[in-house]
Amino acid sequence: MGFTLVSMLPSWTFSSSRRYSRSYVERSFYSMGAMGMISAFGDDRGALMRGITRAIVEFQRLDNLLTIFNESSQVSRLNALGGREMVPVDEDVADILRFSVEMSWKTSGVFDITVGPLMDLWGFRGKKKESVPAEREIAAVLESMGPDKIFVDEGERTAALLHPGTRIDLGGVGVGYAVDRAVKILKAEGIDSAFVNHSGDAYALGVPDESEGWEIGIPDPGNPEILSEKFLLCDAAVATSGGYRQFVTIGPHRFAHIIDPRSGIPGQTLQSVSLIARNAVTADALSTSLFCVGTEGAGRLLDIFPETSFIGLTRHGDETAIQIINDPRKGK
């Protein structure tokens, strides 16, 4: 699908090579512009395979609805008809738009799915930029952005963009939404132990057999082969946003692909943010937001979401500095 958020996948060190008392099934798949993997334990191997297959189909279904790279998707139609028409949308599209607008208001605009025009302006979509956008160009784009530019009628199941220049990009929320839907399907199939991992967003359902949790490792931005932090995850989600793998180079400067919608400038204070929350869609949105506000703003933002944990990584020369708020390793 080519979502904006394509950061380093959180590594998990669970190994499927040993023997377990229950069946174990693991499947990788390609969807939403990146590779994903679903792993699960259970007594019934057939139920595991059926649940994982249904979950993968759900990823593909949501991809077709939410992608901006297919002109026939509902999100592409919304973007094409911005400022002109109401667009019929599926329940999932209305739901993700409602959630995104709510998150935008809660975060005072740090999270904003109307960031699409900024992605174009900085060269993350289409033609490469030869120079940094001028202040007047950024200001003009910011006029078309904000949660007040999105209208959703959930009763009629229609939506509209209220400014002709508004375009939405679900890169900071779409994968997390799909991960949560996949987990819901696995639960419906009676699966109580699974790990769903897709392009930086993951959910740990229950625990793996003979273990206290799914082990998560956060890569060092300076050397992604090395893990900076490890912790166990159970019945929770983690999302990692990083600027060290996807970026644009303009002149001598490198800019991360995650843009602060308030200023119109890519986030520059952090190189990696991992956010642990109860569900993947919240973790996805907040990891994107916290990448923009940096460690100084993280505490204030997390006060609004107290049941979350934050791990921020910065680089100082050859050293990686780590800040942790609400350490997820406590009690492990």
- Give the mean model confidence (pLDDT) for residues 79-94: 95
What is the enclosing helix (H) or strand (E) of 197?
strand 193-198
Q: Is the pLDDT of residue 211 over 70?
A: yes
- Name the percent of the chain lying above pLDDT 70: 85
pLDDT classification of 332: cutoffs 50, 70, 90: very low
Question: Over the stretch 148-173, which tens digit does the pLDDT of each residue have?
Answer: 999 999 889 999 999 999 999 998 89
Burial class (CB in 10 A: 0-12, 13-18, 19+), 273: buried
Closest CA to 293 of 276, 306, 275: 275
What's the pLDDT score for residue 30? 93
Distances (CA, A) of 287 to 10, 117, 294: 13, 21, 10
pLDDT, the chain, mean? 85
Q: What secondary structure letter does DSSP report for 152?
A: E
164/149 Cα distance (integer angstroms)? 10
Q: Is the pLDDT of residue 147 over 90?
A: yes
What's the pLDDT score for residue 84? 93
Q: What secondary structure letter does DSSP report for 162?
A: S
Q: Is the pLDDT of residue 18 over 60?
A: no
- Yes or no: say if 36 and 28 are a contact pair by the CB < 8 Å rule: yes
Higher-confidence residue: 43 or 20?
43
Burial class (CB in 10 A: 0-12, 13-18, 19+), 264: buried
pLDDT classification of 13: cutoffs 50, 70, 90: very low
Q: Which two three-digit tokens encode residue 232?
A: 């166990």
Q: Would the pTM of this model clear 0.85, i.e. be above it? A: yes
235/245 Cα distance (integer angstroms)? 28
Question: Over the stretch 215-265, which tens digit does the pLDDT of each residue have?
Answer: 998 888 777 778 888 899 999 999 988 755 555 666 656 666 678 899 988
Q: Is 126 helix (H, G, I), strand (E, B) or coil?
A: coil
What's the pLDDT score for residue 112? 96
216/276 Cα distance (integer angstroms)? 11
Q: Side chain identity at 246, as an amino acid letter? A: Q
- Yes or no: say if 170 and 184 are a contact pair by the CB < 8 Å rule: no
Question: Please, what's the largest Cα pairwise distance for the chain?
Answer: 64
- Give the mean model confidence (pLDDT) for residues 25-53: 94
What are the helix (H) ranges across 83-131? 91-106, 116-121
Question: Over the stretch 299-316, which tens digit does the pLDDT of each residue have?
Answer: 888 899 988 998 888 766
Q: Which residues share a beta bridge with 42?
A: 23
Q: Which two three-digit tokens encode residue 212?
A: 């206290």
